[in-house]
A and B are shown apart, each in its own frame.
Chain A
Amino acid sequence: MNNIKYFNSIKTQYKRSLIYTRLGFEKTNTSIEPEQKKQIEKWITEAEFLCKVSVIFRTVCLSTNQKNKVILTQHNETMISKSLWNLLQNSKEAILMAATAGVGIMDEIKQLQEAGNMTKAIVYDAAASQITDAGLDWVMAYSKQQLIRKGASLTHMRYSPGYGDLELYNQDIFYRLLNLENWGVEITENYMLIPEKTVTAIVGIESPKS
């Protein structure tokens, strides 16, 4: 069909402290009782269990010959963004990737909210966001390892639709090229992805010249 790779239930690596940061925890200011901390830690562990992180990614060829335009040459798709164009200046290829935490965690968050358990819901929500993002970190680490032997590497950062000047409508390109529909992800007319904890990104491959 194409070179799309799909792995599910991957074990993502992330720092729990980042979940606390998302929730407004400040190391120097915030005080938390041991029992509360224990409870929050338990909820994070439960969220980890509920998040079934799947990652979907593929390599695409690109051209940056036209200013501020990143053209995915084999697919005739163009993304207009000065920042992305700058980032991909040394790349002839890029990796399009998506990570989704699946429906289980979102159903649970919804139920918690309906049952009035907002505290647990927000902890689950923050944990799910962090864990899903870590899915993209996983793809980058995996790809880096594949590339290093070819003397190639990845650009120093990745870019996501809705980030900086890469408009959110570009989500549609990721959605189509990664066949996200096949993996149970939907896209709304406003380019939001469902399940809500689904993220996409593009990262450049910097290869030596032949």
Chain B
Amino acid sequence: MTKEQFKEMVSKGIVILDGAAGTLLQELGMPTGICPEKWVLDNPQSIINIQKQYVDSGSDIVYTFTFGANELKLKEFNIDDVIGINRELAKLSRQAANGKALVAGDMSPTGQLMEPFGMYTFEEVVCSYKKQVAGLLEGGVDLFVIETMMDIQEARAALIAVKESCDLPVIVTMTFERGGHTINGTDPLTALITLQSLGADAVGCNCSTGPKEMIEIIEKIKPYAKVPLVAKPNAGMPKLVDGKTVFDMDATEFTRYTDEFIKAGVNLLGGCCGTTPEYILGLSEAAKGKRAYESANKSNDLILSSSRRIVSISNNLPTCLIGERINPTGKKKLRQELRDGSMDLVTEYAMDQVDEGALVLDVNAGVPGIDEAKILTKMVKTLSTFVTVPLCLDSSSPEALESALRVYPGRALINSISAEESKLEKILPIAAKYGAAFILLPLDDNGVPEKADDRIKIIESVYEKAKEYGYTKSDFLIDGLVMTAASNQEASLETIKVINWSNKEFGANTVIGLSNISFGLPERTWINAAFLAMAMSQGLSAVIMNPGSQETMRIKRATDVLTGKDRGSNHYIKTYGADRGITRVEKQEAPVFNCVLEGRQSEIVDVVKAELTKGVPPVELVDNHLIPAISRVGELYQAKTYFLPQLIQSAEAMEAAMSYITPFLEAEKKQTNTKGKIVLATVKGDIHDIGKNIVALMLRNYGFNVIDLGKDVEEEVIIKTAVNEKADIIALSALMTTTMEQMRKIADRVKTEGIEVNILIGGAAVDESYATQIGAAYAKDAYLAVKKAEELVVKR
């Protein structure tokens, strides 16, 4: 079957797929714990009968019983003949279909993860799938289906394996958990964008959920679908009733969802686990003569994806910010790191830029003398695992681009493709193979045309060429080509003309690399910001810039509001709104008090200095500002107005202030009163100490002299220190049930030896009743530990 024939079949009406086979085979006696594919080969009539029933029930396509027949799965059963098993199983399906239905070669997860998560490389997985594809082709399948995929990267590997082996149509369906993501965090829209751009002929979902959840998925992704959509839901969820698996939705109820599926826009419909020929018969009757709804709101945005999210770029949306900083040009340190193969700065720049508002990250590995393909691929692999924004691959090397695109688990943007012959001939096919979007740079072998009209001619010619590879106007961004204003002031207006034309006449999205405009001029930020506002007013869709430039970012966000791109000024308000519904806590006029109240550790020492310079006595700062402030913080924490990070932040601010003030107090021989001495430790055998450290910080803040013995401390050391230091309290922490008994031992010794000291305990393993049992006081958290310590000291 050709891809065109597949398209034609889908355009004629709803294509009915088959239902479950595995659960039916179990009913026919297939045991668990064996290789199902091998069992079916040994019992061929079982699958032939089931598939015949599906064909008779109206299935237009049946799936070969090769779900687990990939090399890595078969290896678990010590089966080596991957090609043979797939060939023979495909033949059985052809026999069952008997020319009345098409046979799709079924491929599924390997059950392994590829690097960096598992032991297999991307290429190893592609190769292993290729063996399965070869067998299925030998068996004479009409098309392929890659189903129940949990990992988008594995789905890509399987799709590439088919594409590199034949021209048959390929359906790809992912399996989404009830929360709407695959277990690796890919949502349905992200999967659609990635897979349809990579060349899947139909995309959708199967297994995991019932029809209701899948209708929602289809509805959501339909406006963005350029390929037919597929749904193969389970018959609800499995339950064990009297030792038998029962799915909670019968055929009548299942069939009732057919119209809703069609209305949502599904083109191919079948059933997964728990469905039988009865379910498929219901579907085929309900769908007869109907066609999938086409979405009235088809998106024309350029959409990029990573493995976990998409980013839409359009002149109707806030201008998309592409962070430019991962580029070694002019960055000596980054250049050296890339030479050394280190990714530390790359990740640091990535995280910072995302934090500053970048939605896409430009990645450039252009260091003279390095293996660009290797380094760019490494950068892409590294960034793909921890930033969720899509990447823009900035290279003119076809080898580097192909190597990076192959492993990039989403739809990347290529920066850039021009009309230079070498680029058009080499990069465009690579971009098309991996479905990447690209930045169209309007220059050719003669250089950069000065005038907008000449750039427009180049744009049109590149577009004509790109169309041959299936590209549409929503698959690329036109670069306005920013030239330096310092050398030619007319040039900026030519760029604006290109943006205006692209936006209003040509109908494609645009981008500029901003910083070039101000090259050679002083105070570049202002030139950058002004030019960005000009370009945005002409409908600019994206900008490559440094998101760390606050002034430019402010102008960008403001211009998004003024051009109507930021609808309802939502982004602007979210970024700069003074009150985002969060109640501010009360402040006083005293700045030292406020610093503690708001936990401003970095500022408090300067504020204290300023107060001391004004002549405020140090003791007054402590007694009238710092202590009341930390007490108020404690009250806010008790009332849950503050949570733990705020309490600790305030405590740290207090500690910083006290460290600065203490020498002044000592010079004046005016010490604030110590409330009491506490020996603090996490008991022997227990290695957890963060809770204990929080308690130490809080106790110090409230004026206790704390002797912190650390974690995993011997009973003897604790007792000795308490005696020698004449401590008022022994405070003990334990997190585990296996170590809490150490507390009892210490409490017993204190009692037996008549040591005059209170015991205070805390930690996840203990509670009030245990404390009472061993004769100790108990505090649930750090603040209550302070309060309890105060009580215990007063009692003494």
Residue interface bits B583-627, CB-to-A below 8 A is 1, else 0:
111000000000000110000000000000000000000000000
CA distance in complex: A41, B760 (Å): 34
Residue of B nearest to A194 (CB): B687
Answer whether residue A87 sits at the interface, using C-beta atoms and an 8 A cutoff: no
B438 to chain A, nearest CB (A): 28
- Contact with A123, one of B645, B685, B739 (Cβ below 8 angstroms): B645
CA distance in complex: A15, B184 (Å): 14
B358 to chain A, nearest CB (A): 14
Answer whether residue A169 sits at the interface, using C-beta atoms and an 8 A cutoff: yes
Q: Which residues of B contact A116 (CB under 8 A)?
A: 652, 655
A150 to chain B, nearest CB (A): 6
CA distance in complex: A33, B113 (Å): 41
CA distance in complex: A20, B644 (Å): 9
Decide: A122 and B640 in contact? CB cutoff 8 A: no
Decide: B641 and A31 in contact? CB cutoff 8 A: yes
For the complex, would chain B's binding face be called helix, strand, loop or mixed by DSSP majority?
Answer: loop
Q: Scan residues 136-164 of chain A and give those whose CB is less than 8 A from a CB of chain B.
A: 138, 141-142, 145-146, 148-153, 162
Decide: B273 and A13 in contact? CB cutoff 8 A: no
Residue interface bits A41-69, CB-to-B below 8 A is 1, else 0:
01001101100000000000000000000
A12 to chain B, nearest CB (A): 8
Decide: B644 and A24 in contact? CB cutoff 8 A: yes
Answer whether residue A133 sits at the interface, using C-beta atoms and an 8 A cutoff: no
Decide: B386 and A49 in contact? CB cutoff 8 A: yes
Decide: A206 and B240 in contact? CB cutoff 8 A: yes
Known: A36-B599, A118-B694, A122-B648. A31 touches B183 (CB 8 A): no
Residue of A nearest to B647 (CB): A24
Q: Scan residues 73-90 of chain A and give those whose CB is less than 8 A from a CB of chain B.
A: 90
Decide: A149 and B273 in contact? CB cutoff 8 A: yes
Decide: A40 and B113 in contact? CB cutoff 8 A: no
Residue of A nearest to B244 (CB): A208
A197 to chain B, nearest CB (A): 11
Decide: B175 and A20 in contact? CB cutoff 8 A: no
Answer whether residue A17 sits at the interface, using C-beta atoms and an 8 A cutoff: no
Q: Scan residues 7-28 of chain A and give those whose CB is less than 8 A from a CB of chain B.
A: 7-11, 13, 20, 23-26
Q: Scan residues 144-196 of chain A and give those whose CB is less than 8 A from a CB of chain B.
A: 145-146, 148-153, 162, 167-169, 188-192, 194, 196
Decide: B244 and A209 in contact? CB cutoff 8 A: yes
Decide: B117 and A8 in contact? CB cutoff 8 A: yes
CA distance in complex: A123, B652 (Å): 14
Residue of B nearest to A53 (CB): B117
Decide: B245 and A208 in contact? CB cutoff 8 A: yes
Decide: B116 and A11 in contact? CB cutoff 8 A: no
The number of chain B residues touching the other chain, given as a range, is 35 or more
Answer whether residue A109 sits at the interface, using C-beta atoms and an 8 A cutoff: yes
- Contact with B644, one of A13, A23, A33 (Cβ below 8 angstroms): A23
Decide: B739 and A190 in contact? CB cutoff 8 A: yes
Q: Which residues of B contact A206 (CB under 8 A)?
A: 240
Q: Which residues of A contact B245 (CB under 8 A)?
A: 151-152, 208
CA distance in complex: A182, B662 (Å): 51
Decide: B150 and A145 in contact? CB cutoff 8 A: yes
Known: A151-B26, A196-B687. A210 touches B32 (CB 8 A): yes
Answer whether residue B646 sits at the interface, using C-beta atoms and an 8 A cutoff: yes
Answer whether residue B347 sits at the interface, using C-beta atoms and an 8 A cutoff: yes
Answer whether residue B563 sits at the interface, using C-beta atoms and an 8 A cutoff: no
A176 to chain B, nearest CB (A): 17
CA distance in complex: A191, B686 (Å): 10
Decide: A162 and B736 in contact? CB cutoff 8 A: yes
Answer whether residue A111 sits at the interface, using C-beta atoms and an 8 A cutoff: no
Decide: A13 and B183 in contact? CB cutoff 8 A: yes
Q: Which residues of B contact A13 (CB under 8 A)?
A: 179, 181, 183, 185
A6 to chain B, nearest CB (A): 8
B658 to chain A, nearest CB (A): 12
Answer whether residue B46 sits at the interface, using C-beta atoms and an 8 A cutoff: no
Decide: A8 and B687 in contact? CB cutoff 8 A: no
Which of A9, A194, A208: most chain B CB closer than 10 A?
A208
Q: Which residues of B contact A8 (CB under 8 A)?
A: 116-118
Decide: B183 and A145 in contact? CB cutoff 8 A: yes
CA distance in complex: A25, B177 (Å): 28
CA distance in complex: A3, B399 (Å): 39
Q: Which residues of B contact A123 (CB under 8 A)?
A: 645
Answer whether residue B631 sits at the interface, using C-beta atoms and an 8 A cutoff: no
B538 to chain A, nearest CB (A): 33
Decide: B183 and A190 in contact? CB cutoff 8 A: no
B203 to chain A, nearest CB (A): 19
Decide: A23 and B645 in contact? CB cutoff 8 A: yes
CA distance in complex: A29, B643 (Å): 9
Known: A119-B652, A190-B739. A10 touches B386 (CB 8 A): no
Answer whether residue B385 sits at the interface, using C-beta atoms and an 8 A cutoff: yes
Decide: B643 and A20 in contact? CB cutoff 8 A: yes
The number of chain A residues touching the other chain, given as a range, is 35 or more
Decide: B582 and A31 in contact? CB cutoff 8 A: yes
Known: A10-B184, A119-B652, A122-B644. A34 touches B113 (CB 8 A): no
CA distance in complex: A190, B642 (Å): 35
Residue interface bits B234-270, CB-to-A below 8 A is 1, else 0:
1001111001110000000000000000000000000
Decide: A190 and B643 in contact? CB cutoff 8 A: no
Answer whether residue A32 sits at the interface, using C-beta atoms and an 8 A cutoff: yes
Answer whether residue B23 sits at the interface, using C-beta atoms and an 8 A cutoff: yes
Decide: B385 and A9 in contact? CB cutoff 8 A: yes
Known: A123-B645, A148-B207. A190 touches B736 (CB 8 A): yes
Q: Which residues of A contact B649 (CB under 8 A)?
A: 36, 119
A182 to chain B, nearest CB (A): 14
Known: A36-B645, A191-B738. A122 touches B599 (CB 8 A): no
- Contact with A118, one of B185, B207, B651 (Cβ below 8 angstroms): B651
- Contact with B690, one of A121, A141, A146, A208 (Cβ below 8 angstroms): A121
Decide: A118 and B693 in contact? CB cutoff 8 A: yes
CA distance in complex: A168, B734 (Å): 14
Decide: B651 and A26 in contact? CB cutoff 8 A: no
Decide: B643 and A23 in contact? CB cutoff 8 A: yes
CA distance in complex: A46, B348 (Å): 10
Known: A49-B347, A49-B351, A153-B238. A145 touches B693 (CB 8 A): no
Residue of B nearest to A24 (CB): B643
Q: Scan residues 673-708 of chain B and give those whose CB is less than 8 A from a CB of chain A.
A: 685-690, 693-694, 697
Q: Which residues of A contact B22 (CB under 8 A)?
A: 149-151
Answer whether residue B725 sits at the interface, using C-beta atoms and an 8 A cutoff: no
- Contact with A142, one of B67, B183, B308 (Cβ below 8 angstroms): B183
CA distance in complex: A205, B177 (Å): 19
Q: Which residues of B contact A11 (CB under 8 A)?
A: 117, 184-185, 307-308, 385
Q: Which residues of A contact B31 (CB under 8 A)?
A: 210
- Contact with B646, one of A29, A36, A191 (Cβ below 8 angstroms): A36
Answer whether residue B663 sits at the interface, using C-beta atoms and an 8 A cutoff: no
CA distance in complex: A146, B150 (Å): 10
Q: Which residues of A contact B308 (CB under 8 A)?
A: 11
CA distance in complex: A23, B781 (Å): 11
Decide: B150 and A34 in contact? CB cutoff 8 A: no
CA distance in complex: A145, B584 (Å): 46
Q: Which residues of A contact B667 (CB under 8 A)?
A: none
A42 to chain B, nearest CB (A): 6
Residue of B nearest to A123 (CB): B645
- Contact with B687, one of A6, A7, A49, A188 (Cβ below 8 angstroms): A188
Decide: B736 and A145 in contact? CB cutoff 8 A: no
Which 8 residue pairs of A and B lie closest in terms of their CB atoms, listed nearest first? A151-B245, A209-B243, A29-B640, A24-B643, A190-B685, A190-B738, A208-B245, A141-B183
Q: Which residues of B contact A (CB under 8 A)?
A: 20, 22-23, 26, 31-32, 67, 111, 113, 116-118, 148, 150, 175, 177, 179, 181, 183-185, 207-208, 234, 237-240, 243-245, 273-274, 307-308, 347, 351, 355, 385-386, 580, 582-585, 598-599, 637, 639-646, 648-649, 651-652, 655, 685-690, 693-694, 697, 736-739
> What 6 new A-B contacts, CB under 8 Å, besides A49-B347, A113-B693, A150-B32?
A11-B185, A24-B640, A36-B649, A113-B690, A141-B177, A168-B736
6 of the cross-chain contacts (CB-CB < 8 Å) are A122-B694, A149-B20, A152-B32, A192-B686, A208-B245, A210-B32
